[in-house]
């Protein structure tokens, strides 16, 4: 049985059929609050401030942001302006551009008077599709987990490590990295998740721990720095992470710290999988390290930390000597060669240009080109 918390949607259209209700992820896990978005500015702000976050979810929120913008003004100029405003909210996850381009291509040929209804119905379709797509990732990933379980002593759980939150609140319902875990749990397979805290914003500690707990999936929180140690001692059977941008040859940008886990996994022969949807692939790029823009975030996220005190009051405290300089790269890139496989809605493939192109029915990216094709 799922608790009400476990089924709280990260985004839905309000009963008025116009405004959009989101779960404010900046307040989790201490407060479950729904926020209503009525305007383009509010949608852009929700993405920028990470009230909504995770690659899939920011794409769907942006799609609804276009619908909200067109309600105020359905002209060509307003459509272009909304596209530009939403696109600059966060730079790394390519799902944002994918969803915005898709909306613009769908809406531009229509007469302005028909655009609002069409925008809402396309955004709603994206939302529904995301649920089905993530479920499909879950099914493909489940086959991998079943196979790995055969190597575990009878009755012993499969120990999955994940990083950040590529969970059901970063998408709609299943998550990407968590989808195979939820499917395995649903099937009654013994599974245990190592949740890495994900400094500096702690999406693992705050969000993944919250949603796994809500669905009754056994898990243990570990400091980010513990990953190599756990792998070295044979305590991790597989790593599954999500993605913010995957290049045409299979390099993957994901939350900062993912790359270190991939390096440790390679050293200790732990399979390292990345789960994502087709909208996360940037077919214009090959070399992720050179080509993927990495979000630079406030140093304050490194020097300070937020939680609740003994009275449940939300407090921010400083960790460092006052004025300590800090740098805060939001993402890193894991080269394809460190990745065992890519788990997508279309199946599992190797992290290579040929395998990805085959899976998505695209021409194979040219070799030896610069960062942009
Ligand atoms: O900065 P965030 O919290 O938006 O970063 C999220 C991640 O890195 C996720 O792993 C990724 O977006 C996949 S979510 C389906």
> For residue 325, how many C-alpha atoms fall within 13 Å in the half-sphere facing its CB?
0
**Cα-to-centroid distance, 253 and ligand 1 (Å):** 10
Q: Give the pLDDT score at 364.
A: 83
Q: Give the pLDDT score at 228.
A: 98
Q: Give the pLDDT score at 8.
A: 80
Which CATH number is associated with domain 131-360?
3.40.50.10470
Whether the upstream peptide bond of residue 200 has omega within 30° of 0, thus cis, is yes
**Cα-to-centroid distance, 170 and ligand 1 (Å):** 7
What H or E segment, with its residue span, contains residue 324? Answer: none
Whether the upstream peptide bond of residue 29 has omega within 30° of 0, thus cis, is yes
Q: Give the pLDDT score at 328.
A: 98
Question: With 0-12 CB in 10 A as exposed, 13-18 as middle and 19+ as buried, what is 48?
Answer: middle
Q: Give the pLDDT score at 367.
A: 61
**Residues of the chain with confidence (pLDDT) below 50:** 1-2, 368-373
The tokens for 215 are 């669905």
Q: Which residues are catalytic?
A: 244
Q: Rounded distance, CA 321 to CA 359, Å?
A: 51
Task: Return the best residue to mutate from 170, 211, 257, 259 for the ligand 1 pocket (most ligand atoms within 8 A of CB).
Answer: 170
Q: Rounded distance, CA 56 to CA 276, Å?
A: 9
The tokens for 170 are 């970063």
Task: Return the best residue to mutate from 175, 254, 276 for the ligand 1 pocket (most ligand atoms within 8 A of CB).
Answer: 254
Q: Give the pLDDT score at 4.
A: 55
- Tracing tokens 């400083």 back to the chain, one arrives at 318
Q: Ligand 1: which residues within 6 Å by Cβ? A: 53-56, 93, 164, 166, 170-171, 176, 203, 242-244, 254-255, 330
Closest CA to 292 of 349, 366, 372: 372
At the fourth CATH level, the homologous superfamily of domain 11-129 is: translation initiation factor eif-2b, domain 1 (1.20.120.420)
Atom 8, ligand 1: residue with shortest CA distance: 255
- Tracing tokens 């790593």 back to the chain, one arrives at 239
Q: Is residue 250 a contact partner of residue 355, using CB atoms and an 8 Å limit?
A: yes
Closest CA to 297 of 263, 251, 255: 255
Q: 129: helix, coil or strand? A: helix
Q: Rounded distance, CA 314 to CA 306, Å?
A: 7
Using alpha carbons, list the distances in angstroms from residue 157 to 1, 286, 355: 21, 37, 31
**Cα-to-centroid distance, 105 and ligand 1 (Å):** 26
**Cα-to-centroid distance, 164 and ligand 1 (Å):** 7
DSSP secondary structure, 137-163, as one string: HHHHHHHHHHHHHTTSPTTPPEEEEEE
> Residue ranges of the domains in the chain?
11-129, 131-360
Q: Give the pLDDT score at 372.
A: 42
């Amino acid at each position: 049985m799922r608790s009400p918390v476990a089924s709280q949607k990260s985004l839905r259209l309000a009963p008025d059929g116009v405004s959009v209700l989101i779960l404010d992820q900046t307040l989790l896990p201490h407060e479950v609050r729904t926020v209503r978005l009525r305007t383009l500015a509010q949608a852009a702000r929700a993405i920028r401030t990470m009230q909504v976050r995770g690659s899939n979810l920011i794409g769907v929120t942006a799609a609804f942001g276009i619908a909200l913008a067109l309600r105020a003004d359905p002209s060509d100029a307003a459509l272009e302006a909304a596209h530009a405003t939403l696109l600059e909210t966060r730079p790394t996850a390519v799902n944002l551009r994918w969803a915005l381009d898709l909306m613009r291509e769908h809406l531009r040929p229509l007469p302005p008077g028909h655009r609002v209804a069409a925008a809402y119905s396309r955004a709603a379709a994206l939302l529904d599709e995301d649920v089905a797509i993530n479920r499909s990732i879950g099914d493909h990933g489940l086959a991998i987990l079943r196979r790995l379980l055969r190597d575990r002593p009878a009755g012993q759980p499969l120990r999955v490590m994940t990083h950040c939150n590529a969970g059901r609140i970063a998408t709609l319902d299943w998550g990407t990295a968590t989808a195979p875990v939820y499917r395995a749990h649903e099937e009654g397979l013994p599974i245990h998740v190592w949740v890495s805290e994900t400094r500096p914003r702690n999406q693992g500690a705050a969000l993944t721990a919250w949603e796994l707990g809500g669905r009754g999936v056994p898990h243990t929180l570990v400091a980010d720095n513990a990953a190599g140690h756990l792998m070295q001692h044979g305590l991790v059977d597989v790593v599954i992470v999500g993605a913010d941008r995957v290049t045409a040859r299979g390099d993957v940008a994901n939350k900062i710290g993912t790359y270190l886990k991939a390096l440790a996994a390679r050293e200790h022969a732990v399979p390292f999988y990345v789960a994502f949807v087709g909208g996360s692939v940037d077919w214009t790029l090959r070399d992720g390290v050179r080509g993927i823009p990495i979000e630079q975030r406030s140093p304050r996220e490194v020097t300070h930390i937020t939680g609740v005190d003994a009275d449940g009051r939300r407090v921010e405290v400083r960790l460092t000597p006052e004025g300590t300089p800090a740098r805060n790269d939001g993402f890193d890139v894991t080269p394809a060669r460190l990745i065992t496989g890519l788990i997508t809605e279309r199946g599992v493939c190797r992290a290579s240009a040929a395998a990805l192109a085959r899976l998505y029915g695209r021409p194979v990216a040219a070799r030896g080109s610069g960062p942009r094709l």
